[in-house]
């Protein structure tokens, strides 16, 4: 029997899109703690894959160089210009915040690690993923990067066929 893997980075909980934004990355920490408190992260067949650093080069697998440069410029959380807004950064849905580029890389890493665990015959959960609205060149719908596409591309690179089934209440347009 293969492991059930909970993929987690404590760093993800340290980001805040804005004080009044409905999406709260801190929920990843709360989910991790709740699962731990209930004994769901221990025992045979269960493994926590905790990571501190993002895997380099993941965003470049699908996002345009121009867009990644804008995410890097937005990292300070202070700069917003017309070009960023044109690419969905600095809007009410996708505000610029301190660490936005790092957060994006961590989210992509978590999803790729979860996909690899599943590909190895197990099952996996990433509490801070599923950002299926980001396009290759713009943020959309609370999604700065499209970790789903990046994970799919990682699996395809390994020769694995992938069926993407979206069970969200609305269309994952960035994956399409």
Catalytic residues: 133
33 vs 46, 127, 159, CA distance in Å? 15, 12, 35
The values of phi and psi at residue 143, to 5°, are: -110, 120
Residue of 91, 96, 82, 127 whose CA lies nearest to 15 = 96
DSSP bridge partners of 46:
4
The strand ranges marked E within 20-160 are 46-50, 123-125
Burial code (b: 16+ CB inside 10 Å, e: under 16) for 39-77 equals eebeeeeebebeeeebbeebbeebbeeebbebbebbbee
DSSP tag of 123: E
Assign 5 to helix, strand or coil.
Answer: strand
């Amino acid at each position: 029997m293969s492991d059930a893997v909970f993929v987690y980075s404590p760093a993800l909980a340290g980001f805040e899109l804005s004080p009044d934004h409905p999406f709260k990355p801190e929920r990843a920490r709360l989910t991790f703690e709740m699962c731990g408190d209930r004994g769901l992260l221990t025992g045979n067949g269960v493994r926590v894959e905790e990571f501190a650093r993002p895997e380099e080069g993941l965003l470049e697998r699908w996002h345009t160089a121009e867009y990644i440069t804008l995410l890097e410029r937005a990292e300070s959380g202070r700069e917003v210009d017309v070009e960023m807004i044109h690419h969905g950064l600095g809007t009410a849905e996708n505000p610029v915040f301190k660490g936005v580029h790092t957060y994006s890389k961590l989210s992509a890493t978590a999803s790729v690690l979860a996909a690899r665990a599943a590909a190895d015959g197990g099952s996996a959960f990433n509490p801070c993923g599923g950002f299926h609205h980001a396009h290759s060149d713009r943020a959309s719908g609370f999604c700065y990067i499209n970790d789903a596409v990046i994970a799919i591309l990682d699996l395809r690179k390994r020769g694995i066929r992938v069926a993407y089934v979206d069970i969200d209440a609305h269309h994952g347009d960035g994956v399409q």
